[in-house]
A and B are shown apart, each in its own frame.
Chain A
Amino acid sequence: MAVSLSCNNIEKSFGKVSALKNITFEVNRGEIFGVIGPDGAGKSTLFRILTTLLLADKGSATVDGFDVVKDYREIRNIVGYMPGKFSLYQDLTVEENLRIFATLFKTTIQENYHLIKDIYSQIEPFKKRMAGALSGGMKQKLALSCALIHKPTVLFLDEPTTGIDPVSRRELWEMLRKLKYQGITIIVSTPYMDEASLCDRIALIQNGEFLKIDTPHSITQSFSKKLFSVKGKNMGSLLNKLREMPGVVTCFAFGDSHHVTAEFDHGPDGPITPESLRNKLNAVGEEELEISLIEPNIEDCFMDLIAGNRQN
């Protein structure tokens, strides 16, 4: 499969703050590659380096074979970029916004209408409306249309789903899937772990470092510990008791339950099971317990990787 983007040992710091450390990865043509991590992890900085907006301190990167430093003009012709804080021109109409971006890339709305038809047709009824009067979801659709209108070969989307409703989020991901089948490479960042499974491959990023790069499935498969979901009457004290318990590696509040990771084989007491956990917790006064063994999701893996990183 053809390599669409490659990144070698990219490092970047702002003053004394190190924003990116030793970032190396490749993305194939037509792949949806997710960069997943919390705010401030370095996602936007990475995107700006790859879109030629920032210069890396070290390392090299190519987009479609063009070097991000030397061939920045070529790259600016072929990529589509939607920055995280992109908010369009609020005082221009939907249609005017789109026309400006089409003209910017020396094309017209008519010429590439087929590319954005699925997305744009949803907001076309409001094309005379000011962009500032659109809802968050519609704004993102318009922004995506603007980033797509020149038929880019590589599309960079920096947190496209931040701040929009769940329905629009789902629609946006469906669109990305369609674009993938048109051969467009998509690099997308998100702070939402649940969106990871929608990518072909993901990189988990924390404090400027890639913790892991793999398919979402392989990442959850490689989870090397046991995972329990624990609910109880008093969630607060439960969390503290669990963390003190021998054999428990980590314990995090996760929605309405606690996710507890434990080693598969733990010392003389034997492995932790839901039953052994229940007995121990009952012994220290916890009540109304619901404990079950569960399959890990990406967030569990992410937390586990962070915990592992800290120990090192």
Chain B
Amino acid sequence: MREFRIFVQKEFFHIFRDRWTTLILLVLPVLMIILFGFGITTEIKNTKFAIYDTVKDEATRGITNKLETSEYFTFERYLQSPDEIEKLFREGQIGFVVVFGDERIQLIADGTDPNTASTLSNYATVLINSYMQEQSSELRATTAARGIITESRLLYNPTLKSAYNIVPGIMGMILMLICALMTSVSIAREKELGTMEVLLVSPMKPLLIILSKLVPYFTISIINYITILLLSVYILKVPIAGSLVLLTGLSLLFIFVSLMLGTLISTMVERQIIALLISGMVLMMPAVFLSGLMFPIESMPKVLQWISHILPVKWFIIAVRNVMIKGLGFDSIIREVAILSGMGLVILMASIKKFKYRLE
């Protein structure tokens, strides 16, 4: 046990004696949350909107008033014809347009910037719904009779969903980065330096060597997990809607899968740069794309969506979204948990099978 302890300590020395490693491991998550977070919160304030009203009754005026008085939106003008809608978007003057029809209320936003668009339509929908509820039952009866349902439609990108994607996305990326990338690089480093040869020609069990490498990155992942949660709750105001215990359990499972992935990569490569490239290209890039930070998943080509099924991070993001954002219980993530556990076991078996207690 003494050798295990000193090896864990050694690994921490490697991490904290290199200023850049420390910075990446501890500051990067904070930076990402703040950057992406503020990117979203500032854009919503004082967004201009226009209205195309074919009904012009008390309810539509009420809704217009409700939107106008909120801190998020500023009323631009009434439109005379639907043709003006696209013109306004092209000029980039407004964030969204509300169309009051006989049957329904329609929100139209610019889908070329999907995250902003979906945030805007979410906010507007919430405001419209709350207006409806505030009204007397009499009015509600009439609107219900008219069958008003709010429906958001995003121009150019009609299927985009939530902007809350960023917290689960960042969480997935950071945990992946630290567990898989850093672990594989640190093991590859021992091989490149030639120290692995010496470690192998010693009484210490090779599995114990690997395990001592996993402990520090596991610890740092936990710290980052807590940091991300604190930041998202207190800075981004994204509340933890579901059970914290469930969310933590889920994250531990994902950390385990990522650590195993890192180990597997390291058994296959001899050099740090290769480990870095594999982790970066095969793990990180998809994590960025699938987290919804840049592109909504639904707008990707079918082939890519299909490939995304084999990436653990995709399932993790879905599950976190369900638990943390939607506040759903364990029932809702059984499929994701099963898939992640399965992947973890398969990768564990593969890395044990591939693990070499000799050089080849």
| A residues lining the B interface (CB < 8 Å) | 48, 51-55, 72-73, 76-77, 79, 81-92, 96, 99-101, 103-106, 146-147
Contact = CB atoms under 8 A, between A and B. Distances in A.
A146 B203 CA distance: 14
A92 B200 CA distance: 20
B interface, over-half SS: helix
B7 A100 contact: yes
Contacts, number: 78
A83 B198 contact: yes
Given A89-B14, A104-B204, 4 more contacts: A51-B201, A86-B195, A99-B6, A103-B6
B194 A83 contact: yes
B14 A91 contact: yes
Contacts of A52: 201, 358
A210 B202 CA distance: 29
B31 interface: no
Given A104-B202, A105-B203, A106-B3, A96 B13 contact: yes
B359 A53 contact: yes
Contacts of A146: 198
A79 B17 contact: no
Nearest to B192: A85
B5 to A, nearest CB: 9
B219 to A, nearest CB: 19
Interface residues of B, number: 24
B193 interface: yes
A279 B6 CA distance: 73
B16 to A, nearest CB: 10
Contacts of A53: 197, 200-201, 358-359
B10 interface: yes
Nearest to B204: A104
Specify which of B13, B14, B194, B198 lies most central, judged by the most chain A CB atoms within 10 Å of its CB: B198
B360 to A, nearest CB: 6
B6 A76 contact: no
B197 A87 contact: no
B2 interface: yes
A83 B204 CA distance: 18
Given A76-B201, A81-B197, A92-B13, A54 B359 contact: yes
A94 to B, nearest CB: 13
B202 A76 contact: yes
A116 to B, nearest CB: 16
Nearest to B14: A91
A52 B6 CA distance: 25
Contacts of A77: 203
B198 A79 contact: no
A243 B24 CA distance: 64
A146 B200 CA distance: 14
A48 B200 CA distance: 11
B355 to A, nearest CB: 14
B18 interface: yes
A88 B195 contact: yes
A292 to B, nearest CB: 45
A79 B201 CA distance: 8
A79 B3 CA distance: 18
17 contacts: A53-B201, A54-B358, A54-B360, A55-B358, A76-B200, A76-B202, A76-B203, A84-B194, A85-B193, A85-B194, A87-B193, A91-B18, A92-B10, A100-B6, A100-B7, A103-B2, A103-B6
Interface in B188-239: 193-195, 197-204
Contacts of A54: 358-360
B24 to A, nearest CB: 16
A54 B203 CA distance: 17
Give the one of B14, B18, B201 with max A CB within 10 A. B201
A103 B359 contact: no
Contacts of B360: 54-55
Nearest to A53: B359
Nearest to B2: A103
Contacts of A48: 197, 359
